[in-house]
A = this chain, B = another copy of it.
Amino acid sequence: MTLIKFIEIMAILVGAFSGFIEARRKRMDLVGVFTVAFITAFGGGTLRDILLDKRPLFWVTHQEYAILIFVLALVASPLIRTLRQMVSERLIVIADAVGLGLFSIAGVSAALDANMPIFIASMMGVITGIFGGVLRDIVCNEVPMVFRDGKPYAICAFLGNWLFLLMGKYGVGHDFALWSSALFISGLRLITWKFDLRMGR
């Protein structure tokens, strides 16, 4: 298994896991737990692809991820309390930060491939990174967390996306630009988490 495949699966699992937790908190049943986990994991990329009119969708060509979440929903539902104790918060935040970086840059990259103008591409990256959680919160009947907690989550993605776009403009190699920007986002996210930085309102 390549490194990028491994990170991809980790990022999807973290998304699904946050969906599991939120769905259980809302006392949802198996159907709700699976659907919310699925939406959290794939909602951002799906919305991006609908806006770009890109098909087939990621989870359609990789049905193994949908099956994975399905199996996890079957087994995880009764185990969620145990799972939450097993997995430390630190690990979740780290995996989530890695996912944010990877998904955001993948989103920008997909938008550029579709010939989007530059500011729109930077927005598409943020949408890919955060709208899984936004849709999760809408389905769970909450005001989306990422819009109100004042933590610079989307901002980290936005800044890293521009780093990626600028490196592309100034001729930095594509692969290096991709990895370093994703790393920048993940790192910035972890620093702001570590020091509990907030935006003013």
Q: Is the CB of B31 within 8 A of A147?
A: yes
Chain B residues, Cβ within 8 Å of A36: 147
Q: Is the CB of B51 within 8 A of A148?
A: no
When chains A and B are docked, how far (Å) is the Cα of A155 from the Cα of B30? 9
Chain B residues, Cβ within 8 Å of A200: 78
Copies of the protein in its oligomer: 3
Q: Is the CB of B53 within 8 A of A143?
A: no
Chain B residues, Cβ within 8 Å of A50: 50-51
Q: From DSSP, what is the main secondary structure of chain A's interface residues?
A: helix
Q: Is the CB of A27 within 8 A of B141?
A: no
When chains A and B are docked, how far (Å) is the Cα of A29 from the Cα of B149? 7
Q: Is the CB of A154 within 8 A of B31?
A: yes
Q: Is the CB of A29 within 8 A of B119?
A: no
Q: Is the CB of A119 within 8 A of B32?
A: no
A199 adjacent to chain B (CB < 8 Å): yes
Q: Identify the stretch in A54-62, A85-93, A174-182, A183-191 within 8 Å (CB) of chain B at 4 or more residues.
A: A54-62
Residue in contact with A28 in the complex, picked from B67, B77, B143, CB distance below 8 Å = B143
Give the top 7 A-B pairs by smallest Cβ distance, nearest first: A32-B147, A31-B154, A29-B150, A63-B117, A53-B55, A141-B143, A28-B147
